[in-house]
Amino acid sequence: METKGLANIRGTARDDIKAHFVFIPLMLQGHLIPAVDTALLLASHGALTSIVVTPSYTERVHRTIDFAKKSGLPLRLMEFPLDLAAEGLPDGADDVDKVPPHLIANYFRALANLREPLERHLRSDEPYPTCVVADICHPWVKELAAKLEVPRLSFSGTCAFSLLCQHNVERFNAYDGIADDHELVVVPGLEKKFELSRAQSLLFFRLMPGFEKFTDELEQAVVKADGLLARRMKVWTVGPVSLFHQSTTTLSLRGNTAAIGADVCQHWLDGKVANSVVYVSFGSIQYVEPKQVVELGLGLEASGHPFIWVVKNADLLGEEVKEFLRELQTRVAGRGLLIMGWAPQVLILSHAAVGSFVTHCGWNSTMEAIAAGLPVVAWPHFSEQFLNAKLAVEVLGIGVDVGVTEPVMLRYDQKVIVIPREMVEKAVRSIMDRGDEGEERRRRARALAAKARAAVVEGGSSHANLQDLVNHFQRSPARGAAA
């Protein structure tokens, strides 16, 4: 276990630490990255932030943390290994990307087993925590915080709109009597009509065999939290957290161990006309079916627009698809750039050459698009991504819908959903359109970007919420308990 004492943090005296937040993120890139960004922001407001990670994820974030600490921010990593064997997990399954799908429930149990060693460490460590911030998918932290006698916040990486929709369908029992998980119901209590199926909602965990008890515990943990970081509790909205990063160096390090690929992307984009490039990425955990990979590639090629396409888990796609990708790279050389694996997403989105974003509508990606002032092609894959897509297309008016109506992954019926190349081409041409409709989307996107940046600077709403959060959980003279 690695922890860095306060003597290594800008010579900070313990009495100067306003509060001590212990972050326990879910070890998935889409959850870990915004949690780390939020920890960085709290540290910039004078709070010590300790981030609990497992060894594989230490490698992914330590360069970002080290860089921030050198600039004087009070941060540290707490590394705890998982007992993989105890839950029947193979070696290397500390990295969730290496967990076999049928053992994912075992992985969540292994994470829950961190409670006792983490409690022992936090009792003996200084300064004592004033608040525990746990990912919404860690219901076991409820007991940890109770035993430590400190407040607990739920960290939600999604937006207020999706949380409101989810709350309303549960409050008004909108799914009562609905047997088909893919049947759409109207979300009650909203002025505008929005439809949502059970499979498109945050309840998707309930549809996964073996996760029924976990879902019950998750919902109870959220209801009984002392606040929500993102119902009848105080909510702190602190985004867009990605705007903490204002330099090429920190942007290229974000979410990865090194700036591999950043220079290549920068150089390639430098040679392109402003607002001409389509960026395509479906996040860190989305699995794209081999047939969909081919249709997506052909649709991008047919669109005629320059593009950067991030292809995740190419090694799992089979030799036929890998050969297709190699041939596509040859055909679109100079116009298309394929990146296999990780890409410095925020760095790419902030480049002047990028004109739109084809996205799965995870909230991280949606916010990063908004912060960059870019319109989006909405291609949700599962869960609240459908709500985020509705928000982008139907509420904010900054996107076009690719045409997905059902989850394309984590389906218990194994049905394969494929968007054909013609629909991909049409969506890309639409989002890059220079007519009145396309220009209006871009105008709205730029206006939202200005609002996002205003929120995080001094005097902005997010900046004020962060300071209020630190003040709310500041240290008291007695053992550092929250005031």
Catalytic pick from 20, 37, 94, 135? Answer: 135
**pLDDT at position 7, please?**
37
d(CA 171, CA 231): 11
| Segments in the chain below pLDDT 50 | 1-13, 231-232, 257-260, 480-483
**pLDDT at position 328, please?**
97
Catalytic pick from 20, 31, 351, 360? Answer: 31
CA proximity to 419, closest of 285, 278, 286, 297: 297
What pLDDT digit, counting tens, does each position of 300-327 carry? 999 999 999 999 877 778 899 999 999 9
User: E strands along 35-91, which residues?
Assistant: 48-53, 75-79
- Would you call the peptide bond into 55 cis, given omega within 30 degrees of 0 as the criterion? no
d(CA 378, CA 397): 11
What letter does residue 475 receive in the DSSP assignment?
B
**pLDDT at position 249, please?**
58
Question: Is 180 noted as a catalytic residue in this protein?
Answer: no
CB of 243 within 8 A of CB of 452? yes
d(CA 153, CA 225): 6
Secondary structure (3-state) at 49: strand
Q: Which residues contact 169 (CB under 8 A, 6 or more apart)?
A: 175, 185, 187, 188, 196, 201
**pLDDT at position 288, please?**
85
Give the distance, in angstroms, between the CA of residue 43 and the centroid of all CA atoms in the same chain. Answer: 20
**pLDDT at position 252, please?**
54
Q: Which residue has the tokens 């707490």?
A: 78
Question: Is 135 noted as a catalytic residue in this protein?
Answer: yes
**pLDDT at position 18, please?**
82
pTM score, two decimals? 0.83
List the alpha helices (DSSP H) in 316-432: 319-331, 345-349, 363-372, 385-390, 421-431
**pLDDT at position 416, please?**
84
- Would you call the peptide bond into 375 cis, given omega within 30 degrees of 0 as the criterion? no
DSSP assignment string, 87-117? GTPPTTTTSGGGS-GGGHHHHHHHHHTTHHH
**pLDDT at position 5, please?**
39
**pLDDT at position 205, please?**
63
For residue 182 the two structure tokens come to: 């893919």
